[in-house]
Structure 1
Amino acid sequence: MIFTSPTISADELAASTGWDVQPHGACKGDACVPLPGMDPDALELQELARRLRMTVAADETEGLWALGPECDGQTISDPQIPDIELPDRHGNPFRLSSLRGKKVVLVTWASWCGCRFDLPVWQELRTELAEKGVEIVTVALDVGGAEAAGPFIDAAKPDHPALIDVEHSLDAQLGIVNVPMSVWIDEEGRIVRPPEQAWPGRAVFNEMPREQWDELLPEEARPYFHESLDEAHKIKANPEQYVAALRDWAEQGADSRFALDEDEVAGRSMPRTEDRSRAAAHWEIGQRLHRDGKSEAAVPHFRRAHELQPENWTYKREAWGTVNPLQGPSEQYDSDFVSEIRKVGAENYYAQSPDLSAG
């Protein structure tokens, strides 16, 4: 939801947010909000956001404005999955709704995360579960797009949809705050498990010996990376429990104890606060500027997103990685991976699902 003017048309509003301007107001589903005094051909963003309980971020120097999502209720208040469309590795659009009739496991990963090495294992798991009506969909959260994520997708040779989300739109839509995370979607397109840490039975990153990493790094980079490894190995993960639950759902479907009802899904998703909405708006401007080659102009927006939503590791790690591939200290940011994970505690890196014990 990014614009090049502080006013937008009704058509732009509908295309970007789903709010349809009618004679009696802006409507979405059963909700209608009066817009007295507003010109449908030139809707002023700040006033529009106030009435629709959204937020606005702006970079007037660069001529960019962004709307954050509505800040009412939970991120997932409706179990029906949004109509998500993302490109594949070659830029071809793919609609998640095309998989109706199958159980879907939507998995996020990134080229800046050790979970990139898990892609071949996700493919193995997909081969196993496909005959039970389960489809895996992997989504790379990568502002670098196909250039960054493509080589890892190619190496995994996936039979399943392998998509790329350069804007991190799934963060705002579903409440993704980390990678790897997954969302389970049933045959009717209803979310039955909201975002949670996800592993295909093992975490390949944790199995790689330090010497193997050292071969990939210049000597001066190794000390910081060793500190990163030490902290990463303290993170609580649940690969075996996660896959056991997934196999149970594949077999039992709605009767699986791991398939949550609508209230449980909403309750486990995060509240949609004004700060989180505004963080999404600043992130959107930042990633657009970065992709347009204006990396320095992107930094203040990335930093603001970090301040507003400190629990969102995808915002932090992606931004750190744009200036330091190891996500280490830099002039642009006052935090980095090692210092931040030590501050919050590695045991708190992932929120733990109450029905999946983490070892």
Structure 2
Amino acid sequence: MILTALDIDPTQFEQRTGWSIKPQGACKGEQCVPLPANARNANGSLNGAVVAEALGMPLIKDEKHQLWALGPESLTGRALTTAQAPHLVLPDLEGKLFELASLRGKKVLLTTWASWCGCRTDGPIWAEVRERLYPKGLEIVTVAMDTAGADAVREWIELANPRHPALIDQAHIMGELFGVVNVPNGIWINEAGVIVRPAEPSWPGRTPVTEMELDDIEKWESVKQLTPAHVQILREVKKMRFETELYLQMLEDWAEHGANSQYVLSEQEVIDRSQPRPPAVAQAAARYELGQHLHLAGHHDDAIPHWREAHRLQPDNWTYKRQAWSFEDPTVQDPKGVYDGSMLGDLLEVGAINYYPKIIP
């Protein structure tokens, strides 16, 4: 949450963070945290510094631009403190806002992607899956985690021509609200608005990325545009773990059986399986948002130090790294001299097989 002053409107605070201010304190789901008396200012606004400390939220200041970023809470050490789906409102390709809560009464798959990810080609397949499973009460919502916005994702959304909501998340709030650290990631939300599977790798049964044949790469029409580094990245991508058939099988079972699906998790399991969020990870979220805000305001060079710090604080967050790298080098994401890492270097360091964690049914 970007602030220009430390007095915060309680309604805006709730909409952005999910924490509502009640007489017993700040509450999210069934969890309430007592607040000290000075948490409210005389005019009814919230004292940002006091509330941040009470909820374990990092408050990072950019001195040059006199801005603060209020990061997510780290009270439980997990991205989710409740299985109740957070308030999410995002724009579509034309800027029209869509509210996740409007889908109450339907099962919802939120699945993320980005223009800088090979999963950008999955759109038409997701559109086909949606048409097949929608009659069974399942709606699909695709979310492009792309700070570059509509210009970067338009061709891929138009190619998919979806009848489901196709939204754009410029601020990467899917990471803050749901714990998404990579794409594609899917979150299952039931008819009552309760998360029944937290963020995990998601595919629509197959992905064109796995269908690449690299043995005859020299014959590709685009080979003249491929650098040796690009070819090496593609070869590493082929080593990644893609559990495409398993994920579709799970999704189909949920669409068919709902709450009785063997893949539906309890609320505590959802929280326990959500991404770890120690204080450093919460700080990374605040740093990333500051950088994103400055970049969109035309201060790209001032965004870089915040993004570098986000990478240091949360090195396993690929959305932070790949997004920042793509602004310097959109092809092979190797921004020499700007950031410490690169797509190929970091992939070789962690091992391609570890890029996507194994799905735990």
**What TM-score, normalized by structure 1, do the two folds share?**
0.92
| Equivalent residue letter for 2:235 | D
Q: SS where residue 352 of structure 1 aligns?
A: coil
Equivalent residue number for residue 32 of structure 2: 31
* Alignment of structure 1 residues 1-359 onto 2, 5 Å: 1-8=1-8, 10=10, 13-19=13-19, 26-29=25-28, 31-37=32-38, 40=41, 41=43, 45-73=48-76, 74-209=78-213, 211=217, 215-216=221-222, 219=225, 221-325=226-330, 326-355=332-361
Alpha-carbon distance in structure 1 between the residues aligned to 2:88 and 2:250 = 25
Q: SS where residue 306 of structure 1 aligns?
A: helix
Task: Quote how far apart the aligned CAs of 1:328 are.
Answer: 1.4
Alpha-carbon distance in structure 1 between the residues aligned to 2:191 and 2:10 = 34
Check 1:31–1:242 CA distance in 2 against 1; reply closer, same or farther (3 A cut).
same
Task: Quote how far apart the aligned CAs of 1:206 are.
Answer: 2.4
Q: SS where residue 111 of structure 1 aligns?
A: coil
Contact 1:214–1:222 under 8 Å retained in 2: no
Alpha-carbon distance in structure 2 between the residues aligned to 1:280 and 1:6 = 18
Q: SS where residue 138 of structure 1 aligns?
A: strand
Task: Quote how far apart the aligned CAs of 1:346 are.
Answer: 1.1
Task: Map Cα deviations across residues 127-180 of structure 1 (whole Å, 9 max, x no partner).
Answer: 111111111110000001111111110111001000000000010110000000
Alignment length (residue pairs)? 353
Task: Quote how far apart the aligned CAs of 1:228 are.
Answer: 0.9
User: Structure 1 stretches (4+) deviating beyond 6 angstroms?
Assistant: none
Q: SS where residue 66 of structure 1 aligns?
A: strand
Contact 2:18–2:87 under 8 Å retained in 1: no
Alpha-carbon distance in structure 2 between the residues aligned to 1:127 and 1:317 = 31
Check 1:21–1:191 CA distance in 2 against 1; reply closer, same or farther (3 A cut).
closer
Contact 2:107–2:190 under 8 Å retained in 1: yes
Give RMSD over aligned pairs: 2.1
Task: Quote how far apart the aligned CAs of 1:329 are.
Answer: 3.6
Alpha-carbon distance in structure 2 between the residues aligned to 1:80 and 1:280 = 21
Q: Which is further off, 251-260 or 207-216?
A: 207-216
Contact 2:33–2:55 under 8 Å retained in 1: no
| Equivalent residue letter for 1:205 | V
Alpha-carbon distance in structure 2 between the residues aligned to 1:213 and 1:10 = 60
Contact 2:38–2:47 under 8 Å retained in 1: no
Q: Which is further off, 312-321 or 204-213?
A: 204-213
Task: Map Cα deviations across residues 44-99 of structure 1 (whole Å, 9 max, x no partner).
Answer: 54443222211111211022111011111122231111121111111000011111
Task: Quote how far apart the aligned CAs of 1:252 are.
Answer: 1.2
Unaligned regions of 5+ residues in structure 1, if any? none
Check 1:10–1:264 CA distance in 2 against 1; reply closer, same or farther (3 A cut).
closer
Unaligned regions of 5+ residues in structure 2, if any? none
Q: Which is further off, 279-288 or 267-276?
A: 267-276
Alpha-carbon distance in structure 2 between the residues aligned to 1:332 and 1:350 = 26
Alpha-carbon distance in structure 2 between the residues aligned to 1:39 and 1:100 = 33
